[in-house]
């Protein structure tokens, strides 16, 4: 393989040309997020019933409580913040409450991240929840950053922020989503702490951030549509999401993106 611009030879896993710095065709071809998603879907065809038990737990104990909490906090309680302290406490409490249930939605990654097969079987209820503490720490770290983004971009009752920061908040949230999507797999695959996994994703996967975000966007829309259709389709969209994220992250790891970084 050669560079399209300067015709310099490229190694199989080169993301950038070492001679002129041009991005190689690998990013759009071999590392296409949508192509990886399609491959995951084709591999899963005919196996959907195997994933129903694990997906059911994720929906009943993860998705449903999160949606119920969202409805209660935003439409029933509607707590008003009278000062900076209460506003900050409300943000922290809300994010912690979400963080308690989000790990249940992520627990299937502990079963699939360290292998390449397409099995997602329940070995028992207790075994399913065994890694809960690690995933709780993962979601709490994310909760901290979300609170930080909110305070910086929206300000506090006694400390207003520039209106342009509302758009910055939107960018930060989407950028953060592209960081944490592969981090949950990296955490298991590399057997590292949640914070280190997030750091590895941030430092090493920047060249593929747009591809990762595109995958995150497609899967988010897919699952939102599945939820609005009486929840039942989530039994199929959730397993697809788990394996699609796992497969694409494994592909990035295979291309040695975690082993080096061009400054």
Full pLDDT tens readout for the chain, 263 residues: 666 667 666 666 667 666 666 667 777 888 899 999 999 999 998 888 889 888 999 999 999 999 998 888 877 666 566 677 787 888 888 899 999 999 999 999 998 998 888 888 777 777 788 999 999 999 999 999 999 998 888 877 666 667 788 889 999 999 999 999 999 999 999 999 999 999 999 999 988 999 999 999 999 999 999 998 878 899 999 999 999 999 999 999 998 888 765 44
Question: 3-class SS at 131?
Answer: coil
Query: Within a domain: residue 260?
Result: no
Boundaries of domain holding 16 = 1-30
| Longest Cα separation, the chain | 63
Query: Within a domain: residue 158?
Result: yes
What is the number of structural domains in the chain? 2
The verdict on 234 and 149 lying in the same domain is yes
Q: What are phi and psi of 87, to 5 degrees?
A: -65, -45
The verdict on 68 and 53 lying in the same domain is yes
Query: Within a domain: residue 184?
Result: yes
The verdict on 18 and 67 lying in the same domain is no
Q: Do 205 and 248 form a contact (C-beta atoms < 8 A)?
A: no
Q: Do 171 and 153 form a contact (C-beta atoms < 8 A)?
A: no
Burial per residue of 224-254, b for 16 or more beta-carbon CB atoms within 10 angstroms, e otherwise = eebbeeeeeebbbbbbbbbbbbbbbbbbbbe
pTM: 0.89
The verdict on 114 and 178 lying in the same domain is yes
Cross-strand partners of 16: 23
The verdict on 25 and 42 lying in the same domain is no
The verdict on 76 and 95 lying in the same domain is yes
The verdict on 108 and 16 lying in the same domain is no
């Amino acid at each position: 393989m050669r560079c399209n611009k300067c015709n310099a030879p490229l190694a199989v896993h080169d993301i950038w040309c070492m001679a002129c710095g041009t991005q190689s065709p690998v990013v759009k071809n071999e590392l296409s997020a949508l192509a990886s998603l399609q491959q995951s879907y084709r591999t899963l065809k005919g196996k959907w019933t195997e994933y129903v038990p694990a997906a059911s737990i994720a929906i009943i104990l993860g998705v449903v409580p999160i949606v119920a909490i969202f409805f209660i906090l935003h439409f029933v309680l509607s707590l008003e913040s009278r000062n900076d302290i209460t506003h900050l406490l409300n943000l922290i409490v809300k994010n912690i409450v979400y963080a308690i249930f989000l790990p249940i939605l992520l627990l299937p990654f502990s079963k699939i991240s360290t292998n390449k097969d397409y099995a997602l079987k329940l070995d028992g209820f207790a075994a399913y929840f065994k890694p809960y503490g690690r995933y709780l720490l993962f979601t709490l770290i994310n909760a901290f950053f979300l609170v930080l983004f909110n305070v910086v971009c929206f300000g506090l009752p006694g400390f207003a922020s520039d209106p342009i920061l509302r758009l910055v908040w939107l960018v930060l949230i989407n950028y953060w989503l592209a960081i944490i999507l592969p981090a949950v797999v990296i955490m298991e695959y590399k057997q590292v702490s949640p914070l280190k996994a997030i750091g590895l994703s941030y430092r090493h996967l920047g060249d593929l951030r747009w591809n990762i975000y595109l995958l995150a966007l497609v899967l988010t829309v897919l699952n939102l549509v599945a939820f609005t259709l009486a929840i039942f389709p989530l039994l199929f969209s959730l397993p697809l999401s788990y394996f699609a994220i796992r497969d694409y992250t494994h592909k990035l790891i295979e291309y040695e993106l975690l082993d080096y970084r061009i400054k």
